[in-house]
Structure 1
Amino acid sequence: MWTVLLVEDEVFVRRKMRETMPWKQMGFTIIGEAGNGIEAMNKIRECQPDVVITDIVMPLMNGVDLLKQARKEGFSCRFVMLTVMSDFDNVQQALEFGATSYMLKLYMDHATLAETMSKVEKELSDRRNAEIREAQTVLYKLWKVMMGGGQHPDAKESELVVPGVHGREFSIIAVQHGSLAYELDDFMMLNLIEHDVASTAVWHSLTFEGVSYFFMWLPASTYFSMNTELSLPYSLIYTILTPAEKLIVAWQNVLVALNKEWYMPTFSAKLCTSLGSPFHETGDTWGLEHEIWHNLEQLRWEAVLGAVNELWGKFEVQHAPQRQVKQAAARIVHLCARISQLTSSDEEVLLATDHLRLKSVFIARLEAHFKHLSASRIPKSDHPEINKIITYLHEQYAEEITLDTLAKLVCMDDKYVSGLFKKKLGVSIIQYLHGIRIEHAQRLLRETDRTISEIGERVGFANDNYFIKIFKRFTGGTPASFRNRT
C-alpha cells in the first residue's frame, strides 16, 4: 500500500475524501491529515508519505509553498494539488516544481480520483523500481569489497554510496541456511516477522555460499520485532532499523556476528546490536594444506587426519572468517580430486552451515578421494569376481572377514573361490589379507604413537600375539623393532 497525507483546511472536504473514496481498492492508505501547510510539513517530516494531496489555498502556508519546502528538505513524495477554476497560475507553478497532477475540487469524483491516482501510482512504482535496481547493483559491489577485505578494482568510491529506498530505513537479515538457492518465500515460511510488516517492506536479497542477506526496507516510523525464542534449522542474524548511510557499518557488524554464530551456532534468530572484534584471516595455512593433500597422495590417512585437525584447530582459535575456511577446504578438495581422478564438486563444502559440519563434510570428501586413490593402486586380476574380492579386502581389511562372506559376495562356492583366488594371484586369500593388514600396520607404526596393541586391533587382528606372529612372518621382525628402526 502506498501512503497518503491529506492536506485541506476545510474539514468536511477532508472527511468526504477520506470516507467516500475507494483508497484501498486503488492501492493507497491514508496515514495522516493536516489543516494547513505548516502542520502538513511537520506531518511530512514525521510520516514521510508517498503522496501528498493538498489544497493550494490554505492559511499559514499554501500548497505551493508546502511543495517548495518539501523539495527544499529533500522529500520526493508525489504531490497532487486541489484547486478551483480561477487558480491556474498557482497550478502552473506547482507543476513546475514537480507536482504530479491537479484536481478541480468541484468536479472531483471516484473516476477522476482513480485516474489521477493511477498516474501517481505509476510514478511511484517507476521510482521505486529504479531505486531497487540501483541499490541492488551497489549492494553487490559492496559485498565484494567487504568480503574481499579491501577496495574492489571494479568499484569506485562514489559507487559504494548505497541509495536508500525513499523514506525508508533498513534491517539486514542474514540467514546461514546452507542451501544453494534460498528465496524470500523460504524466509517468510519461518514466520519470524508479522505478515503486515513484511508485506509493506521493500526487499533486496543476495545469496552467496549458503548465506542469504535480506535487506528489508520499512518506513522509518515502523516498528518490527523478530521471534528470537523459536528454534530454527540454522542461525540467523538481524539488525534494528537503520538509516541507509549507516549500511556499511551495519553490514560489517552482521558479518562479525554471523562469523561468531558459525563457530558457536545457536540455531535461532539473534539481534546484532554492536560491532564485535573484527575478524582477520588466519595466516600460514599453506603448509598444513600441503600436508593434507601430500599425505593423501602417499596414502597416509592418519597423517591426513592429523593435518586436518591441526588446521581446524588453528581456524577455531583465531575465529578465521568462514569464507576463508570454506575456500581453503574447497581448494584442498579440488587438489585431492586431481590426485585421485575422482570427479568432485565443491558445493557441499562451500554451503556448510557451521565449522563442525564443514569439517565433517570435508573429511568425508577426503576419505572418498583416499579410498578411490587406494583402489586405483590395488593390483587387478583378469577375473572380474576376483577383482571384486580384492577390492573388498582392501576396503574392509580391518573387519572380520570369512571365506563364507567372500563367497556370498560373488555368489560362488567357497572352496571354488578359495582355489580360484590362489590360481589368479599366487597366494591364498588369508595370506593376501594378512599382507594388506601388515602394510597398514607399518604405516601406523611410522606415523602415529598408538600402542602396538591398538594398531593390531585397528588393522583387524584379534589379539596381540597373533598380530606379532604374522608381523614377524612378513617383515622378519617385531612391530616394536620396526618402529625403532623408523
Structure 2
Amino acid sequence: MIRTVIIEDEALIRKSLSKLVSESSLGFDVIGEGANGVEGFDLVKSAHPDLLITDIKMPQMNGLDLIKNIKSLGIHCEFIILSGYSDFSFAQEAIHYGVSDYLLKPIRQEQLRQTLHKVKVEVEKHQIDLNEYSEWLLYCTEEAKNMAHFIWNVNETEAMKAIDNFNKKWIERQGVNSQYKVRSIELLSRIYSCLCNDFGAKRFDYDHKLTILFEKGREEVQALNKLIISTWLQAVRETRNYGAHLSIKQVTAFIENNYKNSELSLQMVADQVKLSIPYLSQVFKQNTGISFSQYLIQTRMEKAKQLLSEPDCKAYEIPDHIGYTDYPHFTKSFKKYFGISPREFRAQK
C-alpha cells in the first residue's frame, strides 16, 4: 500500500479527497489528515508517508513551505498540490520542488486517478531503487574486503575473476544506466580503503584513474576497472617483494620435506628455487630473521625434541631421522641449541 497523508484546511474537501484516494483501487492508504501545514509537517515527520497531498493556501504554514521543510529533513516523499485557482508562479515553484502534479479545485475524479497512477509508478520505482541499492551496498562491502584480500596476497586469478564478476553483474546489466560509473568508483574506493587501512598497504596514486571513469563509456569503464586492479596487484607485488616471499615459502617447504637428508645445503635449495646463493641467503634472512643454516638447525632440533619425547624411539637412532651422520655431532648440536644433552632432556620427561 502507498501510505498517504492529506493536508487541507476545508474539512469537507479533505474528507471527500480522503474517500476518493482510498477507494481509487490503486493501492493508496490514507494514514493521516491535517488542517494546516504545521499539522502536516508533524504527521510527515512521524509517519514518513510515500505521498503528501496538500493545499497551497493554509493557515500557519502554506503548502509550499510545508514541502520545503519536509525536503530540508531529507524525507523522500511524492507531492501533489491542490489550489483553488490557477497561479502560474505557484505552479513554477511547485515544479522546482519536484511536485508530481498541481491539481485545481474542484478536483475531477478522473484527473485525480491519472495523477495517482503517475505517483504510484514513481513510488514503486523508488522502492525498486532502494531494494537494488541495499543489495548493492551489501555486495560492495563484502566484495571490497574479498578483493582487497586477493590483491594483498597477490592472488591474481581470484582478483581478476572478482572484478570480471563485478563488471558482469553491475555494469553489463540492463537498467543500471549511468550508475555503473558511480558504482565502479564506490567499489574501487572501498577496496583502496581496505588495502590501506586493514592491510597497511602503501598509498597508491589512483585518483586520476577514478576521474577518468566519468568520461568513459560502459566497455571502457569495464576495461579501466580491470586495469586498476591489475595495477594494484603489481604495486603490492613490488612493495611486498612478493617474488622473494614466494621463493622463501618454497624454501621452507623444501627444508621441511628434506631435513632428513644429511647432504641438504644452501646450494641444493638455491638450485631448487632457481636463485643465486647470495640473493637467497639475503632474502631468506630478511623474511625469517635467521640464516638458512640456523633455520635448518632449528628445524632438525625441533624434530629431535619430538622424537625424544616418544618412549619407543631409541636415542642413537635419532641422528639418522634428522639428517645427522653421527651421534656425537648430534649430541653437541642438541646441547648447544637447548642447553642440555639429549639424555638430560629425556630424563626430564
State the TM-score, normalizing by the size of structure 2.
0.42
Question: What is the TM-score with the length of structure 1 in the denominator?
Answer: 0.31
Comparing both chains, which one has the higher relative contact order based on Cα–Cα distances under 8 Å and sequence gaps of 6 or more? 2
Higher normalized helix content (fraction of residues): 2
